Structure 1
């Protein structure tokens, strides 16, 4: 509904009707031109001065209101305003000073005298509303002239005020119905920038949109990520705090609102005590108080009572330079170091002298209904004459002597060193005057209104004055350009002030930076001199405010479930990852994280080397095997003439022993850092030497089998399997493997390969087989020859002989085949260098199997049972 025009018209019409019903009655049944107040006795005290043009004013001269009891049987007594505010009284006097200065000057509006009509709104919306209604009446406050049934116009064409946003919201709705311009000097609520709802509202106070923008940039500048917000229970506090919370949550990534509390208007101690408890529990060190100075005072009283310390307070503009908080010494310890934005201050020449002119005995001040309260509060005396026989009045105050002088007292009223809101009042008056001057300068036939007409300055219409105020542009005496944007807001410029304790001199507001919204560069709007800042506790180091501590190097943030994004746990990065304190990043494949998870270091290179325990073990086993084979060769050489050596072709036995030696030695090529040549050598050497070895065994098996099968005398079978044929078989079988290896090395040879698993801290150096087909053919060909040997030896295992070598070959081939059958799955499943270890172990195991099964029994007979090493014994057939 808010976004449509019809409801707004209805709301305005209802407001108009309510105003007229509550404000006036029709005195003549047939004439609706006059309205009359129901009761003039309910009129509020007013400070007024006649003039050709009357300026209305609303100031909250009192902070609270005591409501009368309602009996509903008699007219209620007037409400009583209490707690006189000297600061606001100075603002009101500044308005009067500006008006009288203009009247004395006479150059801006010659031959026109300005008057004023000022009410006390008592810091409450209903008082502000009642004062606004009275401003709509004539100078006597009893009749409203010009009521035509649609609009009630009074003699006040413009209103300056109110100070509080809550009061201005109420007043702006009333004045907006009649298009009476309202220029506020201290209402900063961003909601008042809505021209659809408040068409006649303008202000010399920047909108809270800009203040919140400045506060968010301040929080961002110092890196605070855990900030509490406490707001007053009014339009100013709630509106500003909500905008700040939204800006932090949605536009400032990484920061969060730790708590969001409201100071109740009744300032109940238990409610404020709960706020203090929540501050403690939140562990936030930075707390923004977006509230009026009265609400902030109630909060800090409770802070003192509960002993809360160590908080860096951020002040909204409403109390960032409040003397009511900076003057009492009781607040110095907790507020020292506070920081906040304040509108720019200025000097107004002659204002202090004007402020000191007041005196209740001066006849010029007799018409001031607020002077008595001011004087009595200022000097803590009573202007009322005490009863006979009493020294003091009924309130216990001594009578005023009449010799009091404002010059003798230094307080917030006469302090003109920090004129900020007073300067806003001063600018508001001059903005209206320059608008009136522009109206007077209008040239007939070139006016801005219908038919290019000009306004009549003798009968100023509020809606016409509103048009000119919206377009006013002028410069103050200190060079500030004053104008309003399309929302009725001025240019936002703030001073960043720091509360610094100066010993006996008390708190000093030190300007440590500024915020200029006109600076279009985002990073240059806020300028801070950090070296001039003193933080809470008289510290020079920027306070830290975080929900969770910064994660140490080597860890990452892990968001806690159901907690704000600023709250996290620190989790150690996984192996192979390093952290940049927000998240873990995996190292490149050839790098690994150090133990602290702070840097990526090159991975350790792993391969089967001669220096590690596994490599040394295999080296020893390999050398022992080759040495054992050489020992067998020596034994056979020394006993080469014995029958057991000469049986079954001693040349094949020596060739087999040499090939076994090469088999033992080729395993050494698998140890050490892989290179291009070592990778090609290890696989080809292994393939050829083993084929040579198996070919020798195949030749011996064929000889055994044929020898015992050729039983017929004179059979010529053996001539086809003589020594030459056996050598041919060996050469042919070995040549086939050589051809396979040659093609393998030509097409896709084995080559070094760096295996870099992401889950390992090692770079594994291996020999990639290249062509898996060729590697399979090499192993398959060895397996084929081994199976053929096993088959032939199996056929000859029961041939009668005291020493049947076929049995030995059968056992050796069984071991050989078992080893290599087990090798295939073990090789595939072994990780890293252990696949190479598996292959070496298979080579050594099969070589030891052949050596032990074939040659160990022969060496046993040669060395330990020489009686069996005879031709007779060997030729004896055994069943």
Structure 2
């Protein structure tokens, strides 16, 4: 003995003075594992920290992370609930409130404990580490208050019918733990045959008989009762009582065989028995199959180095079935939790929720409250962020977007004009028509290359001009092509150069006409550099200036591609060339200069003789060109956000 841990401690403190070993069958306080204080104590039951661990694993299994606790005053309840709180912290389970109950409490104080539990409405699960009588009074108080919780109780409640009697409704759904044991039919038969007349060796049996049958031996009316009739519910710890007796017997037997091998009685080596040697060398090393165990089960009786039994527990669920309330075994714990949730009614329909805060949605993170790991505020992440963990949103970065599970990012498809798009079909069609028309004109010039009209028009400059027009139409295809390093290089090189070819030819032509008629008016000699060869050289020199500008640009800003997104539309990624818009406009500044000069000379030659009336058409062309370019510059900037319009 004894049964209660507090009683065993007192007995152990006395017996250690005489080096007398002790085996308890029910004392489970973790303090009794301290060999510096209880160095002759052993037990066939495991210490409470095993069932505290089992209870914490049950809470974690059902994701009950915010619970209240109630413990009985004394070593059993206080050390048990302390061990549970330690296991709970390891599993991120928070304690909403901790209450204590004691034998000196009355109904009002139990009612106060229930009211204290109700102060934490989110903690719907209550963990009990109490004696059976305290659990019974607590259920009665909950019955009076007409409230119910999901109880998770230690072996103090176990599977006792006496605890739930009269409070079955509020106890429904409870999960309780009991030391793994099995019924011993031999003991049940032995006990049922006992009566006050054949069990005179037990001085308390007559008192038990009078209390059981509400009779008195003074009136001789107790002899008519028998234990063979009526309901008999043996104590679940009988298995451990039998194991304790057999453990002591096996230890003595092993010691006798070792010290008195050829004797049937005690030899001098065991007179007196060395209690310290008996405990350490024989009792702690005992190992045998448990007596009276069912044939289909395995159960070994042994102790660890602290004198504790092996931790094995049955898990019960108290519920209504087949017209009555009953305990149903739903699982087992032996260094690990095994639960059959199909046997728990509420686990199949709706598992009770006991959490401080509601779970966050898929796209939300937890903002923890200071000093609390179970209460939080849910904060949504931005659409372009994924969940690095349950507390952190992380930006995917430009060009990436969170996947459906928000645990990572994927690369967004890049947007650019494709040949089949409507935005491409229109410009390509116009360019093709212009290309064909220009080639037709080119062919007409080639066919009439030696005619006076073609020669008089400055055929060399006309060919350069037509080449520039073809280049302008060709740029449509380069700008619609998928951006790449090569394409971006051609865009920079071709855009300004194609314009420069056209306007250089026009400037050379208008300049030649202006210089000729200016010289005629002034009566000077024939102007220099008006021959076809000179005109081509001048035109090429003007074009080369643009080429030099473009080459410098290519060296300063290496061509390539880049991804671009708008702050309010990060889900759209545009594949573009990496040149800046300002640089593009700077490269076209030279073309603007050519246009301005062309327009000036066209204006000067507007009144030329009829044979040189092409100057009028050039003037008209340059006036419209200036208007178009004045509109082009602001449009270029305004449409910079839409690659299709640009």
Q: Verify same fold: TM over 0.5.
A: yes
Please give the per-residue CA displacement for 1:338-370, whole angstroms capped at 9, x wherever unaligned. 32332232344543344345555x3963x7553
> Which residue in 1 is equivalent to 2:573?
763
Shift of 1:193: 0.5
| CA–CA separation in structure 2 for the residues paired with 1:259 and 1:720 | 103
| CA–CA separation in structure 1 for the residues paired with 2:237 and 2:629 | 102
Contact 2:9 2:32 in 1 (8 A): yes
> Which residue in 2 is equivalent to 1:214?
54
Shift of 1:302: 0.9
> Which residue in 1 is equivalent to 2:245?
429
| CA–CA separation in structure 2 for the residues paired with 1:696 and 1:278 | 96
Please give the per-residue CA displacement for 1:13-68, whole angstroms capped at 9, x wherever unaligned. xxxxxxxxxxxxxxxxxxxxxxxxxxxxxxxxxxxxxxxxxxxxxxxxxxxxxxxx
| CA–CA separation in structure 2 for the residues paired with 1:782 and 1:508 | 91
| CA–CA separation in structure 1 for the residues paired with 2:606 and 2:257 | 144
> Which residue in 1 is equivalent to 2:126?
287
Q: Secondary structure at the match of 1:375?
A: helix
> Which residue in 1 is equivalent to 2:257?
441
User: Using a 3 Å threshold, how does the CA distance of structure 1 residues 666 and 268 change in structure 2: closer, same or farther?
Assistant: farther
Shift of 1:735: 5.7
Contact 2:510 2:602 in 1 (8 A): no
Contact 2:506 2:598 in 1 (8 A): no
Contact 1:320 1:339 in 2 (8 A): no
| CA–CA separation in structure 2 for the residues paired with 1:232 and 1:272 | 12
| CA–CA separation in structure 1 for the residues paired with 2:109 and 2:526 | 119
> Which residue in 1 is equivalent to 2:142?
303
User: Using a 3 Å threshold, how does the CA distance of structure 1 residues 726 and 347 change in structure 2: closer, same or farther?
Assistant: closer
| CA–CA separation in structure 2 for the residues paired with 1:561 and 1:578 | 22
| CA–CA separation in structure 2 for the residues paired with 1:364 and 1:731 | 132
Count residues with an aligned counterpart: 609
Contact 1:495 1:514 in 2 (8 A): yes
| CA–CA separation in structure 1 for the residues paired with 2:24 and 2:65 | 35
| CA–CA separation in structure 2 for the residues paired with 1:266 and 1:612 | 87
> Which residue in 2 is equivalent to 1:351?
187
Please give the per-residue CA displacement for 1:496-536, whole angstroms capped at 9, x wherever unaligned. 233344456x444333332234xxxxxxx3333333x1346
Question: Are 1:486 and 2:305 counterparts?
Answer: yes
Among 296, 307, 313, the alignment partner of 2:151 is: 313
> Which residue in 1 is equivalent to 2:9?
169
Unaligned runs of 5+ in 1: 1-159, 386-398, 447-452, 518-524, 638-644, 841-879
> Which residue in 2 is equivalent to 1:197?
37
| CA–CA separation in structure 1 for the residues paired with 2:505 and 2:87 | 89
State how 1:107-118 maps to structure 2 within 5 Å: none
Q: Secondary structure at the match of 1:558?
A: strand
Question: Are 1:694 and 2:503 counterparts?
Answer: yes
> Which residue in 2 is equivalent to 1:376?
210
> Which residue in 1 is equivalent to 2:75?
235
Shift of 1:305: 0.8
Shift of 1:670: 6.3
Among 291, 316, 321, the alignment partner of 1:497 is: 316
Contact 2:563 2:576 in 1 (8 A): yes
| CA–CA separation in structure 1 for the residues paired with 2:21 and 2:407 | 65
> Which residue in 1 is equivalent to 2:160?
322
Unaligned runs of 5+ in 2: 294-298, 446-452, 609-614
| CA–CA separation in structure 2 for the residues paired with 1:224 and 1:831 | 55
Contact 1:790 1:809 in 2 (8 A): no
Q: Secondary structure at the match of 1:198?
A: coil
| CA–CA separation in structure 2 for the residues paired with 1:439 and 1:258 | 52
Shift of 1:186: 0.9
User: Using a 3 Å threshold, how does the CA distance of structure 1 residues 454 and 694 change in structure 2: closer, same or farther?
Assistant: farther
Please give the per-residue CA displacement for 1:820-863, whole angstroms capped at 9, x wherever unaligned. 98799x59xx86545x85xx5xxxxxxxxxxxxxxxxxxxxxxx
Q: Secondary structure at the match of 1:760?
A: strand
> Which residue in 1 is equivalent to 2:283?
469
| CA–CA separation in structure 2 for the residues paired with 1:561 and 1:738 | 65
Question: Are 1:407 and 2:228 counterparts?
Answer: yes
| CA–CA separation in structure 1 for the residues paired with 2:586 and 2:58 | 77
Please give the per-residue CA displacement for 1:738-770, whole angstroms capped at 9, x wherever unaligned. 69879999999966665578971123132456x
Shift of 1:248: 2.0
> Which residue in 2 is equivalent to 1:272?
110
| CA–CA separation in structure 2 for the residues paired with 1:372 and 1:703 | 142
Contact 1:231 1:289 in 2 (8 A): yes
Contact 2:400 2:409 in 1 (8 A): yes
Shift of 1:581: 9.6
User: Using a 3 Å threshold, how does the CA distance of structure 1 residues 782 and 699 change in structure 2: closer, same or farther?
Assistant: farther
Among 398, 401, 404, the alignment partner of 1:592 is: 401
Please give the per-residue CA displacement for 1:653-687, whole angstroms capped at 9, x wherever unaligned. 97798588658746644664526686565444423
Shift of 1:409: 3.6
Question: Are 1:721 and 2:530 counterparts?
Answer: yes
Q: Secondary structure at the match of 2:316?
A: strand
| CA–CA separation in structure 1 for the residues paired with 2:288 and 2:35 | 23
> Which residue in 2 is equivalent to 1:390?
none
User: Using a 3 Å threshold, how does the CA distance of structure 1 residues 619 and 561 change in structure 2: closer, same or farther?
Assistant: farther
Among 84, 87, 95, the alignment partner of 1:244 is: 84
Please give the per-residue CA displacement for 1:61-85, whole angstroms capped at 9, x wherever unaligned. xxxxxxxxxxxxxxxxxxxxxxxxx
Could you tell me the TM-score, scaled by structure 2's length? 0.76
State how 1:805-816 maps to structure 2 within 5 Å: none
| CA–CA separation in structure 2 for the residues paired with 1:713 and 1:559 | 89
User: Using a 3 Å threshold, how does the CA distance of structure 1 residues 194 and 744 change in structure 2: closer, same or farther?
Assistant: same
| CA–CA separation in structure 2 for the residues paired with 1:541 and 1:816 | 72
Contact 1:293 1:319 in 2 (8 A): yes
Contact 2:288 2:300 in 1 (8 A): yes
Contact 2:330 2:344 in 1 (8 A): no
Contact 2:415 2:574 in 1 (8 A): yes
Stretch of structure 1 that moved more, 226-235 or 556-565: 556-565
User: Using a 3 Å threshold, how does the CA distance of structure 1 residues 757 and 199 change in structure 2: closer, same or farther?
Assistant: farther
> Which residue in 1 is equivalent to 2:611?
none
Query: Which one has a bigger Cα radius of gyration?
Result: 1
Contact 2:174 2:318 in 1 (8 A): yes
Contact 1:687 1:779 in 2 (8 A): no
> Which residue in 2 is equivalent to 1:182?
22
Contact 2:210 2:222 in 1 (8 A): no
Contact 1:267 1:298 in 2 (8 A): no
Shift of 1:438: 3.4
Please give the per-residue CA displacement for 1:582-616, whole angstroms capped at 9, x wherever unaligned. 47676697653589979978746433578989879
User: Using a 3 Å threshold, how does the CA distance of structure 1 residues 164 and 665 change in structure 2: closer, same or farther?
Assistant: same
| CA–CA separation in structure 2 for the residues paired with 1:559 and 1:789 | 63
| CA–CA separation in structure 2 for the residues paired with 1:203 and 1:265 | 26
Question: Are 1:516 and 2:334 counterparts?
Answer: yes
| CA–CA separation in structure 2 for the residues paired with 1:164 and 1:497 | 23
Contact 1:659 1:690 in 2 (8 A): no
Could you tell me the TM-score, scaled by structure 1's length? 0.58
| CA–CA separation in structure 1 for the residues paired with 2:351 and 2:586 | 76
Contact 1:186 1:421 in 2 (8 A): yes
Please give the per-residue CA displacement for 1:781-802, whole angstroms capped at 9, x wherever unaligned. 75446547757987x8998996
> Which residue in 2 is equivalent to 1:530?
341
Shift of 1:406: 2.9
State how 1:116-131 maps to structure 2 within 5 Å: none
> Which residue in 2 is equivalent to 1:456?
270
